[in-house]
Amino acid sequence: MSGGTTAGPRSVALISGGSRGIGRAVALRLARDGHDVSFCYRGDERAAAELEKELDGLGVRALARRVDVSDAASVRAWVEETEADFGPVAVAVTSAGITRDKPLLMMADSDWHDVVDTNLDGVYHVCRAVVFPMMKRRAGSIVTVASVSGLYGNAGQTNYAASKAGIIAFSRSLAKEVGRRGIRVNAVAPGLIDTDMSAALGEQVRTQVADRTALGRTGLAPEVAEAAAFLASDRASYITGAVLPVDGGL
């Protein structure tokens, strides 16, 4: 944990999958909005340490923890540590996700379960851990990171698309459950974004997708972070159960 300034309490943001890609951009954006940031990562300790240092440079407190979001007990321990060290979680962003792209006929059972366990179960575990304290306080904002694959489907991504469609339905349903308790739940649905994950698709696929977008390019992680930060903030105080595509007009 790094220190940052301590002049008065700040709102606390909790981000899963925060060390790289969209999660990293969200962490930096929320820090600039004045949130202390607790984020988890699965394996890239160096990237996590670099982000922690950068957050410290922005004058906020940062907590980085290695957590497998598919494991409920690990998620609960991370959330409890965050609230013990920083205070109540006001904003939760579920960004942890993986791909195991293959046509269904070539997909191993482990490819299916790894993706669903991380992408969908991970959202359940984070939200399950934060929502009851938020309900007691009658305040909170949750932003889930889905995908346009969950809206439209994508060949070779039955596992990924199913997990992201599940996140969308989960978010809309949870919004209806907790809205009267002062909690908002929204989703962002990115298109093809320049991250380590999308780089694995290869330049030809990336170019094909860019050609199918109205803006004629792939997106940037900070552009998704802007949407997530808006939905998390009081600027979106009358928005809940929404799914905001950030896809360049795919």
Q: Which sequence positions are flagged as catalytic?
A: 160
Q: How far is CA 51 from CA 76, 95, 152, 217, in A?
A: 22, 15, 33, 27
Asked if residue 11 belongs to a known ligand binding site, the reply is no
Asked if residue 238 belongs to a known ligand binding site, the reply is no
Spatial separation of the C-alpha atoms in residues 226 and 39, rounded to whole Å: 18
Spatial separation of the C-alpha atoms in residues 31 and 38, rounded to whole Å: 10
Asked if residue 19 belongs to a known ligand binding site, the reply is yes
Asked if residue 163 belongs to a known ligand binding site, the reply is yes
Asked if residue 95 belongs to a known ligand binding site, the reply is no
Q: How far is CA 105 from CA 74, 101, 113, 201, in A?
A: 33, 12, 15, 19
Spatial separation of the C-alpha atoms in residues 107 and 122, rounded to whole Å: 21
Asked if residue 18 belongs to a known ligand binding site, the reply is yes
Asked if residue 193 belongs to a known ligand binding site, the reply is yes
Spatial separation of the C-alpha atoms in residues 75 and 84, rounded to whole Å: 14
Spatial separation of the C-alpha atoms in residues 165 and 135, rounded to whole Å: 25
Exposure string of 97-136, with b = 16+ CB inside 10 Å and e = fewer, is bbbbbeeeeebeeebbebbbbbbbbbbbbbbebbbeebbe
Where do the DSSP E strands lie in 17-104?
36-41, 62-66, 89-94
Spatial separation of the C-alpha atoms in residues 57 and 74, rounded to whole Å: 28
Asked if residue 21 belongs to a known ligand binding site, the reply is no
Residues tagged in the binding site annotation:
17-20, 160-164, 193
Residues tagged in the binding site annotation for NADP(+):
17-20, 160-164, 193
